[in-house]
Structure 1
Amino acid sequence: MWNRTAKMPTCDLVDVFCDGPLSGNPLGVVHGGDNLTTEEMQALTNWLGFSETTFLLPPSDPDADYRLRIFYPGGELPFAGHPTLGSCHSWLAAGGMPASEDKVVQECGIGLVEIRQDGDTLAFRAPELLKYEPLTDQERAAAIAFTGIDEGALVEAVHVVNGPKWQLLRLKTAGDVLAAQPASKAPLGTDIGLAGPYETGFERDWELRAFFADSHERFSEDPVTGSFNAGVAIHLFEQGLVKGFYVAGQGRKIGANGLVMCAQDESGAVWIGGKSKIVSKQGALD
């Protein structure tokens, strides 16, 4: 598949946003893939079959600690959340040494992304939204149909694009989110998520679900989605619906138990954090 005269790349399997064994979103992180072509990266991504696979590369920006390319079965993404945290965890575990003591700087398609470490939790600074406006009536109707929500539970529908083209449907309650019955098919590039609050006293403050369509138009549910959580968090903080800090849960309907820590600092920056664990360190991909 690739140049066998070069050193073989290796791959870590990382569980991201986990809250216990195998409870988060799996990610393949490839080390030493500098000589791989874009086509070879895409082929390996398709073969592994995860929602995303990433490739750690030397930075081209002098302010970055490493460069990351992020692939999903349908192509390449300029940014994604769980790949950012999982790749940073894998890079640090492999002996990566950031230039700064208090942060790691990742270079990716949208530019530089800052990542901070607090104990066993990593958090990335949510990138600014590239598109932030209400859905049109046509987009709203399509999103309702694809996600199978109760239209009476819908509070608002907005674009929260930060790389992936997320559409957010905010619902009245977490129960409304869990009750949605999504379609099995949708056009490639359909990225729609749901968010609804719990009553006070729960371990989690909000419940999220996120759906995406692949190159075969299969409309699949993602276990835990950093980029969608980032877009939701910016919106919730911006609208004053949450203050300071909250915990989002995701993945319950498909056997996951993801926990995402969302915070806004004094400067107004939004941070999306969670725990990662390397499940398996693979040898050379030969």
Structure 2
Amino acid sequence: MRKVRVYHVDAFTKEQFGGNPAGVVLGADSLSMNEMQKVANELNLSETAFLYKTENAEADFRVRYFTPTNEINFCGHATIGLSWLLASNLGWTKKKDRIVLDTNIGLVPVKWHKDGELVTAVEMTQVAPKVNDFNIERSKIAEILGVHENDIDKRYPIKIANTGNWHLLIPIIDQKAIDAAKPNFEKLARLNQIHNVDTTHLFTFTPEEQEYDLYTRDFLPALGVNEDPVTGAANGALSGYLVLENILDPTIKHTLKIAQGHTMGRPGMLYVTVEPGKTHPIIKVAGSAVVTIEGTLNLQPSSSKENLALSESFHISR
């Protein structure tokens, strides 16, 4: 029997049972892709990250991400969750002040923020943001999302944006209208599949007196999850869009607080920094996390002997 350590980590929150729960599996070298998919389905969270050895000399670990039904190229909240676990529970802050993750989209650096020895946040630098046009009638997307056509904010363009995955960005007039959205998930899944989009991300700027700058919701029925509470990849792509579309001044640094998850009873907060770069804006997404569950997954012996488990390298006791 193979024993694999698994965790649930609530990301983008300081409160247990808030934010977005991610699965984290350490020492995943012994798992085949098929087994990773089955484990992700068994954990039944929106995304699960699998951490194992990398052959890339510039990285510390290799990571793959799975929803219950699909592998995806990148997941922000699972990256925050696994990095928080390494820093706060497994002692990696005593070894390094940052790590580099080898993902399907390339290298993703992650650094710890600390107050003395206490980890206060982890911050990932996402890959270069991209934005493309997306042509759809407002009446059609409004009908699919279950909002009024007048709820779509005409000041900002509907686009798809990417810092690892493609997200359809829909500007909405206010938080109330976002909360009232009731998507037709079957139609939305079909739309996203046709256009090779992972999620549909609703966003709005909030009044100055609000404690956060933007408010969002994220839907991903094409990946087997109707709604995700707090999304690092989608909000990173949104931040890149805001600068690339000159909604925010691309020549200066921006710090954004983005709230999400309220309608699901799992409110969370992301802290995004957008810095001007030589070739593209630099998107850094930070947040806290809470480890809520840890345990052992018992798997049948593998028929493959290509890899050995990494448990000892993570200093995990069995």
- When the two structures are superposed, what TM-score results if normalisation uses the length of structure 1? 0.88
Report the number of matched residues. Answer: 276
Post-superposition offset of 1:184: 3.7
Post-superposition offset of 1:77: 1.1
CA contact (8 A) 1:19 1:259 kept: no
> For each residue in 1:215-245, what CA deviation from the matched residue of structure 2 results, as whole angstroms up to 9, or x when unmatched?
66xx611100111000011112332437611
Which residue of the other structure, out of 28, 48, 56, is the alignment partner of 2:51?
Answer: 56
Name the SS for the 2:288 alignment partner: strand
**2:275 & 2:50 partners in 1: Cα distance?**
30
| 1:177 alignment partner in structure 2 | 178
CA contact (8 A) 2:48 2:78 kept: yes
1:253 aligns with 2:249: no
Post-superposition offset of 1:187: 2.6
**1:215 & 1:272 partners in 2: Cα distance?**
23
The AA in structure 1 aligned to 2:180 is A
CA contact (8 A) 2:12 2:289 kept: yes
**1:49 & 1:207 partners in 2: Cα distance?**
26
Name the SS for the 2:158 alignment partner: strand
Provide closer, same or farther for how the CA distance between residues 206 and 215 of structure 1 changes in structure 2, counting only shifts above 3 A.
closer
1:136 aligns with 2:143: no
Q: Percent identity?
A: 25
| 1:8 alignment partner in structure 2 | 3
1:206 aligns with 2:214: yes
The AA in structure 1 aligned to 2:243 is F
| 2:189 alignment partner in structure 1 | 187
**1:55 & 1:142 partners in 2: Cα distance?**
38
Name the SS for the 1:232 alignment partner: helix
**1:137 & 1:111 partners in 2: Cα distance?**
31
The AA in structure 2 aligned to 1:221 is E
1:276 aligns with 2:289: yes
Provide closer, same or farther for how the CA distance between residues 109 and 88 of structure 1 changes in structure 2, counting only shifts above 3 A.
same
| 2:226 alignment partner in structure 1 | 220
Which stretches in structure 2 are left out of the alignment for 5+ residues?
115-119, 300-318
> For each residue in 1:34-53, what CA deviation from the matched residue of structure 2 results, as whole angstroms up to 9, or x when unmatched?
11111011011111110011
Name the SS for the 2:82 alignment partner: helix
> For each residue in 1:187-215, what CA deviation from the matched residue of structure 2 results, as whole angstroms up to 9, or x when unmatched?
36452010001111111111000001146
**1:200 & 1:97 partners in 2: Cα distance?**
36
**1:141 & 1:87 partners in 2: Cα distance?**
40
Provide closer, same or farther for how the CA distance between residues 34 and 125 of structure 1 changes in structure 2, counting only shifts above 3 A.
same
| 2:165 alignment partner in structure 1 | 164
CA contact (8 A) 1:16 1:27 kept: yes
Structure (1/2) with the larger helix percentage? 2
Provide closer, same or farther for how the CA distance between residues 174 and 281 of structure 1 changes in structure 2, counting only shifts above 3 A.
same
**1:248 & 1:159 partners in 2: Cα distance?**
19
Provide closer, same or farther for how the CA distance between residues 274 and 111 of structure 1 changes in structure 2, counting only shifts above 3 A.
same
The AA in structure 1 aligned to 2:199 is D
Provide closer, same or farther for how the CA distance between residues 262 and 52 of structure 1 changes in structure 2, counting only shifts above 3 A.
same
**1:141 & 1:191 partners in 2: Cα distance?**
19
The AA in structure 1 aligned to 2:258 is A
Name the SS for the 2:133 alignment partner: coil
